Chain A
């Protein structure tokens, strides 16, 4: 049989090449994704480890309010086995850009420590020096050697020399917001912090674990955690937002999707191949081959093909893994080629899965082919009729689809929004899709009929014939459409979920900051407050419609930080709703109004007395009323009451509504003009937060969407395969149509429209399923979700997939158009 097998391979070179292409791309995609995941993980490991290597034990304050004291640093420095104990000051720096205004993105301010590493230049050495993160230096428009303006906690401006660019990789907020690193005294002056956010301990000999015990024994009880360097590295890796383990799990999931899609494509290709060769196989049976010999021959053929294609695919996948490096580097990472990780596991998974999927996909139709009595197969000139469609498979599909939809729909009402509900939706979605796969052959005819209405009208006779053709082999059509639907479902699900997420967060921002702009003082110290003259100027500024200035002072209430505030009602601040107690204008000195959520948090009610610690000492305040308003300060004092406690100080924040019709940029210009005299203020626009979120999300969507698009490419190869094989199969039919007067162009159009219809069925069902489950997923993630369906994007996905499907059929369609009528009529 081996000779026959090899001869078969040679004879069907072209057709098998298509099946091989599907395997190759599937394996390449799978192994490439796995390699990318491993590489990202290795890179994260590398940066985080390098980053915490200098520190043996870290003491980290968990509350910003109660930093670690100078004594704690001293105590640890004196501890036996400690080489060095170094406190780090952290806060926010108000850096000035080239225009003399604070940067929109205020960097993290920190004091220089053993962990400070520079990419360029050196760490600050003297008090007039600063090292910046790359992004911060770019924002401020400075490079090493330039000077940069900084507003310190007292509100006064100073000029510092930039000595270097610091490395912020693996540093969480610093990587995200940028950083400015100063010497310890300067950091204290800039941030106004006297305590330390953390203490870094280096060992003089003891193991980190042992040293950690000693450190814990030395320090008094307090709000801090003590970690070894390694523990800290792990915690940082997990907390860095893009958890590498999560990323590679996500990538592995995508690899699974790739494998599923290529499995479907391979299965379809082999089904058609074997169906076409049924006569040939029957002939083998007639000349004496046993059923198992025939089956074995087809399997051997697919195994040979699978092995070759999987190996090639692996090579392509590894190549893709390496070529991702320059791409990632273009996006700002600095992964070296040496970090690209190709594990034996990846190789094994890629090879075995590609091989197994291919042979498995070939085995099913091969087995079916051997069931046909040889004489019947030889005599049949008719296309094989699709078998009974309602069967165990249909019932299973229905059960899976119904239970999947039910589980997903019930997840949120039963479990409430949260990770378990999300799991419910995802599992339900997978189950539903599985049901869809099983039900596909039953659903595809009505689906083609619906989707085909438009093409049948638009493309005349070829269009109507195309729609009829798309319906004639439901199994094949369903598999082809579903392969495309997998990728499209995920793409539209991601699109709907992120769009809704953006809208939900946007609404949250709107609620939290229901004004156009907020101008905040550079610090909480009395000297850093906004002077009344600035508020007057803002009020008079053209383009500014309404302002509300708020005085505020940070105090400690029952051990928690709280801001007492006083604001004149009117403008952006509407009269709040009085829930209980005295009306606001009746509030006297020593009385305050509290919002309901704070009242609940602190367990307060009207008549209760609160002890607040101000920088002038403790005071007693009586809760006079509970009010609800948005925006409204959580702890409200009357103007007189505030002055009694804190004296006549400036304003902590000014809420501004700009004139209607102004764009965000024009509004910002007006606010900037109004605050010219006091440039150290921070101007926050409602749009900034939204924009930032949108940028972050759109990057994520781009990456995920790009990877999913690859799976769509695989399914397009499926469409091309199905169409070319259908063209081969219908050679005689095409010739007949030409004999009846169909032009070459019309014949090609008929085939491309058929591909368009199949593509559109896959894309439409994918978009439908993806949108519904995407919406369910977002309601499972956030209880305050705002469902948004991005019709434009979804339409683009459908149109793109349909057209791509059409493009996939161009080559086979042209080939069919060029074939000779007489020769084709004679062909079997």
Chain B
């Protein structure tokens, strides 16, 4: 597993402009970045730094104005809606700040939804293992409204992992949680990354959350300004303070 780590997601001179003419806002200014297989990376930056936009462009949710993005060796810039849909179905998983579970489906149904949509048979052993790591075996039959926030987010993470995508993008996964639940979720995320070798890219502005990652990249005004390996909370905080000024 720890052979030569190939990049799973790469961006080259990635630029994103919102609007046109006088109202044009340059959200990303030619970013070059790549994310290695099996790594847990945090994208950090103050509000408005373009970290969410970067994630959206990397995941094919937003089209790049110029530059190039590759996911799992396939160039996604210039893909049509249909190809992008297939990309999301086959290669990308998502975790959102506000959980976004389907309220009418049980926890188990929510986890299995990506496979169901792709029309794939679930790998039962993998599902059981995943459910074991979430610690939710006893709550799988419950509806999201019957779960706590932390539990809901763990279900959402399991959902992102279940199809074994090339990469999972997590957008502020602890943003809606109290610190205890947040810690649980981050623990779970890191354990899962280690255990399943899953590549995870997490957008956050929380230094403590970033400290759970193998690497943190820092954005400011749409440009990559720092890249830190094995980030510790203090180091991240210092960098952030510098960026905020």
Count of A-B residue pairs with CB < 8 Å: 63
Stretch at the interface among B7-15, B81-89, B122-130, B229-237: B81-89
A236: interface (CB < 8 Å): no
Q: For residue A382, which residues in chain B have a CB less than 8 angstroms away from its CB?
A: 103, 145
B116: interface (CB < 8 Å): yes
Q: With the chains together, A821 CA to B169 CA distance in Å?
A: 15
Q: Which of B73-109 contact A (CB under 8 A)?
A: 81-82, 85-86, 88-90, 94, 96, 98, 100, 102-105
Q: Do A821 and B89 touch across chains, with their CB atoms under 8 A apart?
A: no
* Chain A residue nearest in CB terms to B59: A739
Contacts A460-B119, A468-B104, A472-B104 given; indicate if A825 touches B96 (C-beta within 8 A).
Answer: yes
B113: interface (CB < 8 Å): yes
Q: For residue A821, which residues in chain B have a CB less than 8 angstroms away from its CB?
A: 61
Q: Which of A362-417 contact B (CB under 8 A)?
A: 381-383, 385
A738: interface (CB < 8 Å): yes
B117: interface (CB < 8 Å): yes
Q: For residue B117, which residues in chain A have a CB less than 8 angstroms away from its CB?
A: 461, 737, 740-742, 746
Q: Do A740 and B88 touch across chains, with their CB atoms under 8 A apart?
A: yes
Among A464, A469, A741, A825, contact of B88 (Cβ-Cβ < 8 Å): A741
Fill in one digit per residue for B118-149: 1 if any A CB lies within 8 Å of its CB, else 0: 11000000000000000000000000010000
Q: With the chains together, A471 CA to B103 CA distance in Å?
A: 11
Q: Do B88 and A468 touch across chains, with their CB atoms under 8 A apart?
A: no
Q: With the chains together, A744 CA to B90 CA distance in Å?
A: 16
Fill in one digit per residue for A441-463: 1 if any B CB lies within 8 Å of its CB, else 0: 00000000000000000001100
Among A733, A746, A822, contact of B100 (Cβ-Cβ < 8 Å): A733
Q: Do A742 and B85 touch across chains, with their CB atoms under 8 A apart?
A: yes
B56: interface (CB < 8 Å): yes
Q: Do A740 and B103 touch across chains, with their CB atoms under 8 A apart?
A: no
Q: With the chains together, A743 CA to B118 CA distance in Å?
A: 10
Could you say which interface size class chain B belongs to? 20 to 34
Question: Which of B81, B96, B105, B117 has the most A CB atoms < 10 Å from its CB?
Answer: B117
Q: Do B98 and A381 touch across chains, with their CB atoms under 8 A apart?
A: yes
A114: interface (CB < 8 Å): no
Among B85, B98, B100, B116, contact of A461 (Cβ-Cβ < 8 Å): B116
Among A469, A739, A741, A743, contact of B104 (Cβ-Cβ < 8 Å): A469
Nearest-neighbour CB distance to chain B for A455, whole angstroms, equals: 15
Q: Which of B16-42 contact A (CB under 8 A)?
A: none
A690: interface (CB < 8 Å): no
Q: Which of A787-828 contact B (CB under 8 A)?
A: 821-822, 825
Q: Do B113 and A385 touch across chains, with their CB atoms under 8 A apart?
A: no
Q: Do A743 and B82 touch across chains, with their CB atoms under 8 A apart?
A: yes
Q: With the chains together, A471 CA to B104 CA distance in Å?
A: 8
Nearest-neighbour CB distance to chain B for A256, whole angstroms, equals: 36
Contacts A472-B103, A740-B113, A822-B56 given; indicate if A385 touches B145 (C-beta within 8 A).
Answer: yes
Q: For residue A464, which residues in chain B have a CB less than 8 angstroms away from its CB?
A: 116
Q: Do B61 and A741 touch across chains, with their CB atoms under 8 A apart?
A: no
B173: interface (CB < 8 Å): no
Nearest-neighbour CB distance to chain B for A334, whole angstroms, equals: 58
Contacts A382-B145, A740-B114, A741-B117 given; indicate if A732 touches B85 (C-beta within 8 A).
Answer: no
B62: interface (CB < 8 Å): yes
Nearest-neighbour CB distance to chain B for A286, whole angstroms, equals: 21
A725: interface (CB < 8 Å): no
A226: interface (CB < 8 Å): no
Question: Which of A383, A460, A742, A746 has the most B CB atoms < 10 Å from its CB?
Answer: A742
Q: With the chains together, A383 CA to B102 CA distance in Å?
A: 11
Q: Do A741 and B118 touch across chains, with their CB atoms under 8 A apart?
A: yes
A17: interface (CB < 8 Å): no
Nearest-neighbour CB distance to chain B for A388, whole angstroms, equals: 15
A736: interface (CB < 8 Å): yes
* Chain B residue nearest in CB terms to A464: B116
Q: Do B61 and A822 touch across chains, with their CB atoms under 8 A apart?
A: yes
Q: Do B96 and A743 touch across chains, with their CB atoms under 8 A apart?
A: no
Q: Do B100 and A736 touch across chains, with their CB atoms under 8 A apart?
A: yes
* Chain B residue nearest in CB terms to A821: B61
Q: Do B89 and A740 touch across chains, with their CB atoms under 8 A apart?
A: yes
Q: Do B90 and A383 touch across chains, with their CB atoms under 8 A apart?
A: no
Q: For residue B96, which residues in chain A have a CB less than 8 angstroms away from its CB?
A: 736, 825
Q: For residue A741, which residues in chain B have a CB less than 8 angstroms away from its CB?
A: 85-86, 88-90, 114, 117-118
Q: Which of A719-756 contact B (CB under 8 A)?
A: 732-733, 736-744, 746
Q: For residue A739, which residues in chain B have a CB less than 8 angstroms away from its CB?
A: 61, 88, 94
Contacts A822-B56, A822-B62 given; indicate if A743 touches B103 (C-beta within 8 A).
Answer: no
Q: For residue A472, which residues in chain B have a CB less than 8 angstroms away from its CB?
A: 103-104
Q: With the chains together, A744 CA to B82 CA distance in Å?
A: 8
Q: With the chains together, A746 CA to B98 CA distance in Å?
A: 24
Q: For residue B105, which residues in chain A have a CB less than 8 angstroms away from its CB?
A: 468
Q: With the chains together, A244 CA to B114 CA distance in Å?
A: 63
Q: With the chains together, A205 CA to B89 CA distance in Å?
A: 96
Q: For residue B82, which residues in chain A have a CB less than 8 angstroms away from its CB?
A: 743
Nearest-neighbour CB distance to chain B for A472, whole angstroms, equals: 4
Q: With the chains together, A461 CA to B56 CA distance in Å?
A: 26
Nearest-neighbour CB distance to chain A for B82, whole angstroms, equals: 7
Q: With the chains together, A754 CA to B167 CA distance in Å?
A: 32
Q: Do B100 and A744 touch across chains, with their CB atoms under 8 A apart?
A: no
* Chain A residue nearest in CB terms to B97: A825
Rank and list the top 7 A-B pairs by shortest CB-CB distance, nearest first. A741-B89, A472-B104, A468-B104, A736-B100, A741-B88, A743-B85, A739-B94
Q: Could you jot down 30 A-B contacts, CB within 8 Å? A: A382-B103, A382-B145, A383-B103, A385-B145, A465-B102, A468-B102, A472-B103, A472-B104, A732-B98, A733-B100, A733-B103, A736-B94, A736-B100, A736-B102, A737-B102, A738-B85, A738-B88, A739-B88, A740-B113, A740-B114, A741-B86, A741-B89, A741-B90, A741-B117, A741-B118, A742-B117, A746-B117, A821-B61, A822-B61, A825-B96
Known contacts A741-B88, A822-B56; 6 further A-B pairs (Cβ under 8 A): A461-B119, A737-B102, A737-B117, A740-B113, A741-B114, A825-B96
